[in-house]
Amino acid sequence: MDWDQYDAVLFDLDGVVTPTAEVHMHAWAAMFSAFLAAQSARDGVDYPAYTDQDYFDHVDGKPRYDGVRSFLESRGISLPEGTPDDPPDAETVCGLGNRKNDAFNDVLAAEGVAAYPGSVRLIEQLHAQGKPMAVVSSSRNAPAVLEAAGLSHYFATVMHGGLAAELGLPGKPAPDTFAHAAETLGATNARSVVLEDAINGVAAGRAGDFGLVIGVDRGAGAKALTDAGADVVVADLAELVAGDAA
């Protein structure tokens, strides 16, 4: 891997730098499973159970409320949109998103988070080389997760879901958040690397014509990541560290 070809490196967070994708998965599963059980009782309809595949198909890599909306559509369920200020017990799209967020924050506060060792090695190597880096995450929790993992100081900018909403930028699979981060680092898309584990994130990298799109297979599948537009797929970022590759 010749990093000298590129001026900036753009990391997704959950599933790429930290294993918080698993926490997100569990939080979504708990929230949606309980919601479907209650909604089935209310509607008298036996809705199909939530599965891990629903996470990859409808939620992974998307802004929180987009994920809720996509999953509900898959089950033919319509709820009011609500507002981001809705309480977590509100039966709205935003209420369900906030309910899931509470579950995620409870786990993060109780257990903390440790970054993937291979990811830390790559970040340290790039930092030593003076390579500008950014985190580009759909999650509004990205700054808190980075802080909990002790990695905040490595990243010149953190493009998270809340900031994207403030700037009016569409989330992944649109390339806008990655493009804004690259511009903030003084780089062009063509001279930036995107590292993503989500199909939507890889698709965003490809849609933005970034110089290199690296898929990180944490469960989505190498073929699915390649089909979405990854130039190369690795199982761990240690494979990209000088001297670490097997």
Residues labelled catalytic: 12, 14
Contact 64, 100 (CB under 8 A): yes
CA 11 to chain CA centroid, nearest Å: 10
DSSP letter at 46?
Answer: -
Q: Is the dihedral of CA 105, 93, 14, 142 positive or negative?
A: negative
Contact 181, 187 (CB under 8 A): no
Within 10 angstroms of residue 52's Cβ, the number of other Cβ atoms is 11
Distance CA 41, CA 63 (A): 28
Residue 63 tokens read as 């802004």
- Of 234, 246, 196, whose CA–CA distance to 62 is shortest? 196
φ and ψ at residue 239, rounded to 5 degrees: -65, -15
CA 199 to chain CA centroid, nearest Å: 10
- Of 26, 246, 237, whose CA–CA distance to 116 is shortest? 237
* Length of the chain measured in residues: 246
- Collect all residues with Cβ–Cβ distance below 8 Å to 40 and sequence separation of at least 6: 46, 47
What separation in angstroms does the CA of 170 have from each of 29, 63, 160? 25, 9, 12
